[in-house]
Amino acid sequence: MSPVKDSRAPRSGRHAAASSTDTVIPVSNFEDRVLPWVRRNILICVLVPTVVAFFLLTINDFMSQFFSELVGLLPLPALSSPITFGSTFGRVLAATLFVVLIVKVFRLKLADLGMIRESRLRAWFVGVGLGFAGVTVILLINVVVGAVQISSVFDAGTLWILPLAAVFFAFQGFVEELLFRFYLIPAYAAKLTVAGAIGLSSILFAYIHINNPNLTVFGMVNLVLYGVVFGVMYWRTGNAWFVAGWHSGWNFVLAMIYGSHVSGNVLPGSLLSSTPSGSELLNGGAFGLEGSVLSTLLGIAIIVWCIKTNPESNLGLFTRPSKPTRALA
């Protein structure tokens, strides 16, 4: 079954209902995400959101570091990892505050950010499962051809970090998607085309990773590409939970199950260890599987599928939304 079938029922109002209950995840019209922005000027739709997004990203990192150091003063299990009780709490708190701030300052509703009520958990878990599947396929191909060596590094003494890491990555992925997809793309799309909005947000998304260790040219290309992937997913489904779940599932499985580099970083406490061996074109080298040509091919396939299956009623990639007209009495 396709994860995102559409009933293509006619819309009724600003937040039209998602597709019928026979879908795996609810899909709603992306134009409904853009409509709150179309009457605002280019300053409010482009410049201000960009500044706000980078400011909040800085606050996110600060809160993670602050609470990590604060909780580090307590007698809790220690592990040399950026994933701690404090850093996880900081990301949870930041995500909550950011949603409230964006909604209040820009006079939006949660639905305007793709946070629709229907089947939220199901949509998120479907996204997590597909992210898991995508990473697994790439890894298995590398293992079969000998480009990655797998070994067990399981340590019962550090097993506690897995559920903590699951929460950490859930909110880490959500914050990045909130700022660079759910918030920026609709705002940009009100003055640019959807394609232009996705492209600009993807470049900004890649830019925030520019200081990651072991970054390669191909790794940077894939960072931009996956910004497009998540952007097109959001345009295709209008569902924030699904997109955030995919992002978080991908990162968690890659880091904590398979023990591979995540954008150049290796985190302790994983169940397995994935060591590159051979062709860096296939395994991504020290940057990890996100720098693999297999990740590139998967990303292109997802983009093509989203474009090919997008319902006709949605706002097109190369069209700008028209301003709503007032109904005559």
Summarize pLDDT for 119-135 with one digit per residue, the tens. Answer: 999 999 999 999 999 99
Torsion of CA 190, 60, 256, 164, to 10 degrees: -120
Q: What is the pLDDT of residues 7-48, one digit of tens each?
A: 444 443 444 444 444 578 888 889 999 999 999 999 999 999
**Share of residues in the chain with pLDDT > 70 (%):** 87
pLDDT band at 272 (very low <50, low <70, confident <90, very high): very high
Instruction: Give residue-wise pLDDT tens across range 208-237.
Output: 999 988 888 889 999 999 999 999 999 999
What's the pLDDT band for 312 if we cut at 50, 70, 90?
low
What is the pLDDT of the chain when averaged over all its residues?
A: 87
Mean pLDDT confidence for 43-71: 93
Q: What tokens does 304 get?
A: 């093509």
Residue that is written with structure tokens 């169940």 in the block: 271
Query: pLDDT tens, 172-204?
Result: 999 999 999 999 999 999 999 999 999 999 999
Calculate mean pLDDT across residues 289-310: 94
Q: Rounded to two decimals, what is the model's pTM? A: 0.89
Domain borders along the chain are 32-309
pLDDT band (50, 70, 90) for residue 74: low
- 14/52: higher pLDDT: 52
Which residues have C-beta within 8 Å of that of residue 76, sequence separation ≥ 6?
Answer: 85
- Given a cut of 80, whether residue 325 has pLDDT beyond it is no
